[in-house]
Amino acid sequence: MRKVLILLDPGIDDSLALMYILMHPEYKVLGIVASYGNVTKQQAIENVAYLLDLAGIKDIPIIAGVTGPLTGELVPYYPEIHGEEGLGPIKPPPNVYAGQEVFDVDKAREIIEKHGNELTIVNLGRLSDLAMLYILYGPEFMNQVKEIYLMGGAFLVPGNVTPVAEANFFADPIAADLVLEKAERVTIFPLNVTNKALLTPEIVEYLTENSKSSYAFLFEPIFDYYFNAYRKLIPGIQGAPIHDLLVVSALANPEIVKTLRRRVRVDPKGEITKGVSIADFRPLPNEESAETLDSIAMEIDYPAFLEDVVGIFLRGQIEQ
């Protein structure tokens, strides 16, 4: 059983990743930190509450994340990609978490303290909350966790919010750099691989018709909204990249990606290069001490990813 603490900003690909993890028989979700990013923090909390409610789950703590980045900048949201409420055309019912407790960040500390080296942190949104945890509780406390899996960055390939930067790192590059410098046993899933984690309309239609999941009615509307947005951004694209889904699929099936070990830095404020992820890919990179090295997923076994995802979504059973 893999114990996980998830930090996310749902958002369509975050939501599909959360559904996957809740349906996966090997995962035990101990807490969900909902934060600003694709939508506001408040909306992220409501979306998590809605997804838990649809699955009949009442005992996974929802933890309120931060409302903005460590840079102090104003936050842009992305309704054109994720929808006004973050779930494409779907509007979660108002007050979906009425009567449910929403915890503050101390709950995350409690979970880390209790589960320590059995716990994987999965970060699918901006890095602000994870950086805050490092600031609040210190690297020694935080690095007792087993590992950290995170979506972010673009190495020697185009970005998605600027020509060179990926959205999670760009939105809070100070947090991203802080985490990558302080955290140990980090695996990064950059656009290099997540851009290839495509679902197509045919696959989603098949899942909608055949899944036993209580989420099945959401698959088509949220995917169609997201895919239409991607079709405008990348003319001719055959499917939509479900970035965050690759992270959780690879955590259960590490063999679906190939990783390289490098020290990763993020440019905190360059006028043109803000949020760029940098690693030394020269044939003979500079030597770095072992604890500063991160694993970067650089290749994906797409058929294996697809087989895994289809299997879990068809199965549909909620395990928590």
- Residues in 107-136 at the binding interface with Ca ion, rule: CB under 5 A: 124-125
Cα–Cα distance for residue pair 167/152, rounded to 1 Å:
7
Under the criterion CB under 6 A, does residue 243 sit at the interface with ligand BDR?
A: yes
Under the criterion CB under 5 A, does residue 172 sit at the interface with Ca ion?
A: no
Residues binding ligand BDR: what is the number (CB under 6 A)? 13
**Minimal CA–CA distance to 226: which of 10, 24, 8?**
10
State the nearest-atom distance from the C-beta of 194 to ligand BDR, in Å: 7
**Minimal CA–CA distance to 169: which of 277, 271, 245, 71?**
277
Amino acid symbol at 231: R
Residues binding Ca ion: what is the number (CB under 5 A)? 5
State the nearest-atom distance from the C-beta of 24 to Ca ion, in Å: 18
- Residues in 159-178 at the binding interface with ligand BDR, rule: CB under 6 A: 160, 166-168
Give which of ligand BDR, Ca ion, none residue 167 binds (C-beta under 5 to 8 Å, depending on kind): ligand BDR
Token pair for residue 120? Answer: 């994987």
User: What would you measure as the largest C-alpha separation in the chain, in angstroms?
Assistant: 57
Under the criterion CB under 6 A, does residue 192 sit at the interface with ligand BDR?
A: no
Which secondary structure element, helix H or strand E, spans residue 129, and what is its range? Answer: helix 128-137
Amino acid symbol at 7: L
Under the criterion CB under 6 A, does residue 244 sit at the interface with ligand BDR?
A: yes
Which secondary structure element, helix H or strand E, spans residue 8, and what is its range? Answer: strand 2-8
Angle, in degrees to the nearest 10, between helices 201-210 and 216-233: 170
Under the criterion CB under 6 A, does residue 13 sit at the interface with ligand BDR?
A: yes
Under the criterion CB under 6 A, does residue 249 sit at the interface with ligand BDR?
A: no
Residues that bind ligand BDR (CB under 6 A): 11, 13-14, 38, 124-125, 151, 160, 166-168, 243-244
Which positions lie near Ca ion, rule CB under 5 A?
11, 14, 124-125, 244
